[in-house]
Structure 1
Amino acid sequence: MTKWQDVAPEQLLAIMERGEADASQIIDVRETYEWDYYHLDRTTLIPMNTIPGRLDELPSNKPLYIVCAHGVRSEAVCRYLEGQGYSGLHNVSGGMAAIASLRNFQYD
């Protein structure tokens, strides 16, 4: 049984709007150049390849929402974090491309 689940982009935006998650809980695992192109306010950039060395920055007692460009890297990070003992993990399905689409921004 996995300790992570998919969350729709609409759900993440609603959670953010209600203030139910802060920047330490919404982790963008894309590369810096992707972040610079388009990102959400009140999120934290931790590129996927730096996650293992930055676990101390991830709260283990709160839900985490992991986002990337399309949902593939974020799923891999959820699997990795699950293996490190994290729970309450959420993979944002469709990633920033889906979020951008909801906001009428042409992501790619």
Structure 2
Amino acid sequence: MDTTVKTLMDWLQGQTNSSLFIQKKEDEDLDQVRLQLREVGYRPDYRSIDGYTDGTALVLHGNGSIRTGHVEEPLPQDSYVIPLSGLAISKAADNGVIMQTDRAHYSLSVDNDNRR
């Protein structure tokens, strides 16, 4: 496993049983996710039906919701996938990670406003 991926995975595993706030900016779209992280999984190379989540990825398992625009909905299948192609971390600290992939820019932080 690449050291950058391991850094991200280690941070996420340290947040197990915590509430996370994830912001993902892709093109001009901003998604905001609140997730009660139960488990972190590593998925090796994979081919999806829609092609959107092809390749290696981290799968965050837990209950949560996603807000796109003004609409908030439950996460499908109680999971959130972060494709890892082109992963670069610009900040990794106890309280959060800022990173970029080939597709999007992410900000992950402990959700102090939504602790359970």
The TM-score with structure 2 as length reference comes to 0.27
* Structure with greater proportional helix content: 1
Greater strand content: 2
Relative contact order, CA 8 A, sep 6+: which one is greater?
1
Q: TM-score, normalised by structure 1?
A: 0.29
